[in-house]
Amino acid sequence: MTATSKIEPVLDVSNLTTSFRIGGEWYPAVRGISFSLQPNETLALVGESGCGKSMTALSVLGLVPKANGRVEADHIRFEGKDLSRLPDEEMRKIRGNGISMIFQEPMTSLNPVLPVGFQVVEALRYHQNLSRAGRERRALELLDLVKIPSAKSRFKEYPHQFSGGMRQRVMIAMALACRPKVILADEPTTALDVTIQAQILSLLNELKAETDMSMIFITHNLGVVAALADRVAVMYAGDIVEIAGVGDLFARPTHPYTEALLRSVPRSDRDTKTLYSIPGAVPPLTRMPKGCRFTARCELAVDICRKQNPPLDALAAGDAHSVRCWVRGNHDRAALKENADV
């Protein structure tokens, strides 16, 4: 590779829109989002519940129900293939093999009537050309890798015999079974206490370094983001409203929503009797505002915010920090003043 050659992203998503049919009409839950994931990078998707984080991951893997949902994109490119245009049979070869997902709640994701060892072996049986003994040996290696004690004796136990933290480790082992290039981790620590959460985060960091995989980490916990992510994409009501390197985002949060999220985090260095909260709630799919979707909750909103959704633009030429905001983005100030509420 020459000094001027460019490293290709392992995953590149362009103009992804996921819509659902409600009452005979289509409403976008994820709207025209674009991002890329570099080799060995962790990209965090952050935002409140209902912002489209999990739906983005499900859309990438082609897991949106086709009965009432549809996924459209310019491309979802992985290893030279556009996932948005692959037939179902080809997508099944990629799920769990090239791209794996760690789901949010392991008790509902694991089959309660099958031993955990059998469930780890299942992905190997489908994707890997291994003998039965080879599959079981690999499954035991994975359970050891995720630090399940006495893995051999627990191989034939059932999910209800494991604690919440151990079940989450089994889910991670299943996701890693085929050595995927990309892991989609959908709030894998939400249901766990803080001690187990720290162990899982440490484990994911270790495994990422050992296996050289890339990860999209979905969370609403900004403390987790600071510990784990390389870059952060902040989502609100189906839009990416800000994207930047993790250090840059915490040092200069630019979108009013990002700033409000950070203000909502309790801090030990602040002497305060009340916690800050963002007024209002994420609007429902069927009643999204015409312009910027954060307008009703934003203290800086001007008239143009209510009329037109701003583009996601870099703060300066060549800057990796981009924001979707009329007031704080890199836009024509004269035009903004002309359309402002005064």
Last residue of a domain, one of 177, 192, 226: 177
Residue 324 lies in a domain: no
Whether residue 247 sits in one domain with residue 170 = no
CA distance 183 to 176: 8
In a domain, 312, yes or no: no
Kindly state whether residue 169 falls inside one of the protein's structural domains.
yes
Q: Tell me the backbone φ, ψ of residue 193, rounded to 5 degrees.
A: -70, 165
Considering the domain boundaries, does residue 156 fall inside one?
yes
The tens digit of pLDDT for each residue in 279-294 reads 889 999 999 998 999 9
86 pLDDT higher than 70:
yes
Based on the domain organization, do 20 and 82 belong to the same domain? yes
Are the beta carbons of 265 and 222 closer than 8 angstroms? yes
Domain match, 61 and 173 both: no
* 209 burial type by CB count under 10 A (0-12 exposed, 13-18 middle, 19+ buried): exposed
Same-domain pairing of 169 and 186: no
Among 118, 145, 177, the domain boundary falls at 177
Tell me what pLDDT residue 339 has. Answer: 53
pLDDT at residue 342, rounded to an integer: 40
Domain count, the chain: 2
Q: Are residues 167 and 22 in the same domain?
A: no
Residue 231 sits in a domain whose CATH number is: 3.40.50.300
How many angstroms separate the CA atoms of 148 and 137, rounded? 15
Supply the pLDDT for residue 331: 66
Instruction: Please count the other Cβ atoms lying within 10 Å of the Cβ belonging to residue 43.
Output: 21
Across the range 111-134, mean pLDDT stands at: 89
For residue 93, give the 3-state DSSP assignment. Answer: helix
Q: Which domain holds residue 131?
A: 108-177
- Angle of helix 164-176 relative to helix 194-211, nearest 10 degrees, comes to 10
Q: DSSP string of 276-332?
A: ---SS-PPPGGG--SS-TTGGG-TT--HHHHH-PPP-EESSTT-S-EE--TTTSS--
Same domain, 55 and 160: no
Category of 297 on φ-ψ map: left (φ > 0), alpha (ψ -120 to 50) or beta: alpha
Q: Are 154 and 273 in the same domain?
A: no
In order of 125, 171, 200, 242, the CA distances from 188 in angstroms are: 25, 9, 8, 23
Shared domain for 85 and 222, answered yes or no, is yes
| Residue 338 or residue 39, greater confidence | 39
Residue 24 lies in a domain: yes
60/37 Cα distance (integer angstroms): 12
Residue 5 lies in a domain: no
Distance CA 75, CA 256 (A): 30
Instruction: Answer yes or no: do 93 and 135 share one domain.
Output: no
126-159 residue pLDDT tens:
888 888 899 999 999 989 888 888 989 999 999 9
Decide if 239 is inside a domain: yes
Identify whether 39 is part of a domain.
Answer: yes
Same domain, 146 and 273: no
Q: Is the pTM above the cut of 0.85?
A: yes
- Of 153, 177, 201, the domain-final residue: 177
My answer on whether 137 and 157 are in the same domain is: yes
Q: Do 199 and 157 belong together in one domain?
A: no
